[in-house]
Amino acid sequence: MPRPTVDYSLYYVTGRSLLPTTSTAPLDSYLDHLELALQGGVTVVQIREKDVDGREFYEVARRSKLVCDKYNVPLFINDRLDIALLLSCHLHVGQSDLPYQLARHLLGPDRLLGVSVNTPDEMLDILKPEHAGMVDYVGIGPAFGTQTKKNLNPVIGVRGVRDVLQVLGDSEIKAVVIGGITPETIPNVLAQTPAPLLPSADPTAASPTKYRSLDGLAVVSSIAASPTPDVAARELRALFAQRDEYTTRLERGGEWSAEKVVQVAAELVDLLRSEEKKPLMHHITNTVVQNDCANLTLALNASPIMSTVSAEAAALSKLLGCLVLNLGTATVPILEVQTIAGREANRNRKKVVFDPVGVGATAYRRKAASDLLNACHVSIIKGNAGEIGALAGSSEVQARGVDSVGPGFKDPVTVVRTLAAREKLVVGMSGEVDYVSDGHSTFAIENGSEWQGKITGSGCMASSAVAVFAGLDHESGPLVATLAGLLVINIAAEIAAERTTVQGPNTFRSALIDECHNLTPEDVVKRARIKRV
């Protein structure tokens, strides 16, 4: 008998000790709760009873199996191979339980076997040719911190989950994510583990990157702690079913020529000028540039708000065009607000621009950036060469402060494209020449003025300009928004620098904001110097 095919979309790990309020409650109330969860759409159940003896575990599992059978939902037993065998159930083992090879040996060929995986090495072990066919799915985690499990392994973050998935590749083994999976963390999980891009209609386009996506979400407390497990399960199922909507839509680059980008950028400038309802740009940025970024945003005809109050982040995210998270004042309270605002923006499917100011300078900032990227999904990263280099893991361009650094990389195209492909987002690197990539196609923008390197905040203002275009309600995605924002600020800088009134950095700064205000679609078409590289 071949092993059954399972829908892993919503994998519910339960057990009486995991229900916070019913650990001493009768079995019946636990079973009622389980039945409601099944009615809500749970597709797989695992019984996990860590603090009970065999007889009690057996009884819980036996009764649970009757409920699951009624809904035709497969049941896994955690760790207790004997109970799985007695009840003809499937088995899940963790890394400190019986080795999965031995478990498979005793379980026989017909039952499903799942394994908890925390690291790429553990994944590689399962993928060894001599282990082929032993394991049916892996539970990857913990993605986030959770109170639910004692002896929790180190949190690996969404990015750690992604690294394990990368190793899994196009293996037939299924994958679910576990640990702190809730409606608020799910958008980032889904955004960072997107389904593979479809091949481009354009035969000249670079071949699409192969991503391995998730087959489902595994939860404990999101259902177990809910007084209405059917409602909770339904919401989780719906979130997973809509996962494509949480993916940053990266355009197939082959469809965008430089000419087309310029044309659309000009159209977007026009749209921005005509916009009656100005898009709201929520900046959580550093104390140095707040005033300049707010003025720049206004000059482009969008509405800035510079709130750092976590209590209003959720309300603001509903009105949002785009959220800007800037690492320049990375105090613990600011990072907390950024995390909350980022998650709310993700939940409301609003774009987030991340400006990793000074990320190469200290280990503290590197960790802050990594934590932030684990907590919420950003669509666009905009930084200078030092910052992009630090995120890409390159030491070729070293950053000290937040100032931009020299001529940059020998091969900037590869650095930017590789980071974009790895992070599944758009990367914009500002400098003498700006490079923008979505991991498939890469553009270079040659506009700009030397004065931009002589004032503070020009990089942060460029990020604001990118955010303004990303926040427009328009079908061209984050690649074009990034290109449009960088074209606009660089062209405005060029025009500003030509003014005879510009005597030095400070008059340039005022002129730049003026020229952003004055800029027309015709200026963009006439002056744009952009090419695909």
Which of Mg ion, ligand 3NM, none lies near 478, with the C-beta cut-off 5 to 8 A by kind?
none
Q: What distance separates the 2 farthest-apart alpha carbons in the chain?
A: 88
- Binding ligand 3NM (rule: CB under 6 A), the pick from 73, 168, 214, 219 is 219
16 binds ligand 3NM (CB under 6 A): no
Which partner in ligand 3NM, Mg ion, none is near 292 (CB below 5 to 8 A by kind)? Answer: none
State the Cα torsion 452-457-463-466 to the nearest 10°: -50
Q: What residues numbered 124-183 form the site for ligand 3NM, per CB under 6 A?
A: 139, 141-142, 146, 148-149, 153, 178-181
13 binds ligand 3NM (CB under 6 A): yes
141 binds, among Mg ion, ligand 3NM, none (CB under 5 to 8 A by kind): ligand 3NM
| DSSP codes, 145-212 | --SS-TTPPPP-HHHHHHHHHHHHTT-S-EEEE-SS--TTTHHHHHHHSPPPPPPPSSTTSPPPPP--
Amino acid at position 434, single letter: D
Residues forming beta bridges with residue 236, ordered by sequence position: none
Euclidean distance between CA atoms 152 and 204, whole angstroms: 47
Q: How many residues bind Mg ion (CB under 5 A)?
A: 3
460 is catalytic: yes
Q: How far is the CB of 24 from ligand 3NM (least distance, A)?
A: 19
Nearer to ligand 3NM, 347 or 382 (CB): 347
Question: By CB under 5 A, is residue 94 in contact with Mg ion?
Answer: yes
Residue from 116, 290, 379, 449 in contact with ligand 3NM (CB under 6 A): 116
Q: Nearer Cβ to Mg ion, position 79 or 494?
A: 79
**83, 49 Cβ separation under 8 angstroms:** no
The contact pattern for ligand 3NM, residues 181-210, with x = CB under 6 A and - = no contact, is: x-----------------------------
Q: Does 15 bind ligand 3NM (CB under 6 A)?
A: no
Compare residues 147 and 506 and give the one whose CB is closer to ligand 3NM: 147
- Minimum distance, C-beta of residue 233 to Mg ion, in the bound complex (Å): 23
Q: Toward Mg ion, which CB reaches closer, 79 or 515?
A: 79
Query: Per the structure block, which two tokens stand in for 267?
Result: 């159209």
Residue 44: alpha-carbon gap to chain centroid: 25
Assign 443 to helix, strand or coil.
strand
Map residue 252 onto helix, strand or coil: coil
Active-site pick, 68, 89, 376, 460 = 460
Q: How far is CA 275 from CA 15, 272, 461, 462, 473, in A?
A: 54, 5, 21, 21, 10
- CA within 13 Å, CB half, 286: 20
Residues that bind ligand 3NM (CB under 6 A): 13, 116, 139, 141-142, 146, 148-149, 153, 178-181, 219-222
- Could you list the active site residues? 460
